[in-house]
Amino acid sequence: MTDHAEPNSTDSVVSTPDQPCVQVLASGFAIQYTPERQPRRQVRYEPRTHADGWWRIVDEWTGCAWRVTDREPVADIQLTIHHD
């Protein structure tokens, strides 16, 4: 992926709202959610190949495929998972 290119073509986006855990990324991770009265969305973080940092990519489910709605470079990521 270049600085302005789409995500890596080796990604396998097989995720659907009915099966949200089936997405396989070449690298990085995704978080899916459903806002009230809106289409399902996902936020993906993928490493940038020609620069330091990550891409933050927001997709929206169209009913048959994911459509990119936003993308920005991110310097670093910290993921914290809380559990009871």
Domains: count for the chain:
1
Residue 82 inside a domain? The answer is no
Q: Which domain holds residue 3?
A: 1-76
More confident residue, 81 or 73: 73
Does the reported pTM lie above 0.95?
no
Residue 25 inside a domain? The answer is yes
24-77: pLDDT as tens digits:
556 889 999 999 999 999 999 999 999 999 999 999 999 999 999 999 999 998
Residue 64 inside a domain? The answer is yes
What is the secondary structure of the chain as a DSSP string? --TTSPSPTT-B---BTTBTT--B-SSSEEEEE--TTS--EEEEEEE-SSSSSEEEEEEEE-SSSEEEEEEEEES---------
Residue 81 inside a domain? The answer is no
